[in-house]
Amino acid sequence: MSALHELSVAALAKKLKAKEVSAVEAAQHFLARSAAHAGLGAYLATNEEATLAQARAADQRIASGDAAPLVGVPIAHKDIFVTKDFPSTAGSKMLEGYRSPFDATVVRKLAEAGTVTLGKLNCDEFAMGSSNENSAYGPVKNPWDTRRIPGGSSGGSAVAVAAGLAPAATGTDTGGSIRQPASFCGITGIKPTYGRASRYGMIAYASSLDQAGPMARSAEDCALLLSAICGPDPDRDSTSLDVPAEDFTQALGGSLEGLRIGVPKEFLAEGVSADVRSAIEAALAQYEKLGAKRVEVSLPRTELAIPVYYIIAPAEASSNLSRFDGVKFGHRAGQYGDLLDMYKKSRAEGFGLEVQRRIMVGTYVLSHGYYDAYYLQAQKIRRMIADDFQQAFKQCDVIVGPAAPTVAWKLGEHGNDPLADYLADIFTLPGSLAGLPGMCIPAGFGEGSMPVGLQLIGNYFQEGRLLNAAHRFQQATDFHLRRPEGF
């Protein structure tokens, strides 16, 4: 039993099918590990009774001969997805103790596939952050060095996988919140094409950017999970695309001979630390050994992605979070004078500083006299950024570079300088603004023996190509198999 947390999703699924271990035993093992490593701050809520009930149901499915690939596999969900059996807080005091009457579509689909929910995972408040220090319930610590951040906003998900507290987890990616923590924690994560996975039941931050995706040890595991997550949801999510679900595992194992890997010159320019650059160059050399061809491309508006994102995302956040006013949704102040006073005090008490900051920025750029000057201009540049990618894809099949310019920094290192966190998103933001699929895989180690992640970006609906490129790299290397000491 002690080795269960060392197994991949695929390997654990095989043991479950062979009845070498039961779903109940697997769930109990991971619940015990989560309790033993509670100091990492990864989990916000567990419900052993609900988890074991799901596990017993999974064992019955296996006993009846159900051959679905994920039946009985334990998984944990980022606390941005609403769930019936667990509290849903989005890492905020605004929703402390909230219980949803329904499951998010992603949660429901994974449950229908047979997964067993272990609990809810910590995240930056309303998914706003790059370090998981913005959670109202305390920061998450990186298992590779507990003095460092795990990345955000899906930091709890990344740490749960890296530390062996769950075989896999769900995350959400608005501007890099799957890829950046995957990089910092040495795991694999993928954000599909915008609209591939339903946003129904995912507590909204920025509606035109938010997208769900899986986080696990390997590309093979992510392919299994993404196959269950994706698919149209027209009755519940108007942004859901009418693209049928795929079995992404069918894309794995293809040759990389002749694959054109585009390396944007802007992704390896000044600002990337030497240790990250070295790991990325070594990864690119490995791809060339596997038959891929390196091509230099350009994404000339890369630097503009930061101001564009931090206009568009806060603007959408100011609208989405306006529902949390103390009347129907969220925390209500205990004492107030009139209705306006209740609004002010409820929101001031319920929202953290970073959320308040982004709401204020968003409200400003949408206000009369500034909408045209800021928001409209940002949307125009967003379109240009998407066009830059299409020009690049005329020369290459996959775009590759670092997921972040440095390895994970120390907790509190950026202090009261939110711009330092914003700048760390420079390589993940362009793909998010364009709505492209992107993923991150472990590609080496840098300063302080901390993981370095390699980002792969594909054209629309090319998740299979990305997963295959990642899978072949992982067959040739062992970075995804390495674990933080003591976990």
Q: Which residues are catalytic?
A: 78, 153, 177
CA dihedral 390, 394, 397, 399 (to 10 degrees): -50
The closest alpha carbon to 475, from 162, 218, 184, 188, belongs to 218
Q: Which residues contact 297 (CB under 8 A, 6 or more apart)?
A: 262, 263, 264, 265, 392, 395, 396, 399
As a whole number of angstroms, the distance between CA 49 and CA 300 comes to: 53
Backbone torsions φ then ψ of 377, nearest 5 degrees:
-65, -40
Q: How many CB atoms lie within 10 A of CB 77?
A: 30
Closest to 74 measured CA to CA, from 46, 39, 97, 36: 46
User: Which residue intervals of 39-129 are DSSP H helices?
Assistant: 48-63, 105-112
* 325 contacts 346 by C-beta, under 8 angstroms: yes
How far is Cα 165 from Cα 287, in angstroms, rounded to an integer?
31
Between CA 475 and CA 30 the distance in angstroms is: 27
H/E stretch holding 118: strand 116-121
Strands (DSSP E) found in 253-323: 260-264, 293-297
Strand residue runs (E) in 243-361: 260-264, 293-297
**Residue 232 φ/ψ, nearest 5 degrees:** -70, 150
Distance CA 80, CA 94 (A): 13
Helix (H) / strand (E) element for 383: namely helix 377-392
Which amino acid would we find at residue 368? H
Would strands 168-173 and 211-216 be described as parallel, antiparallel, or unpaired? antiparallel
Strands 116-121 and 74-78: parallel
Beta carbons of 160 and 120 less than 8 angstroms apart: no
Residue keyed to tokens 């005329």: 394
Which is it for strands 451-457 and 438-445: parallel, antiparallel or unpaired? antiparallel
Outline where DSSP puts E strands in 322-390. Answer: none
Distance CA 228, CA 462 (A): 17
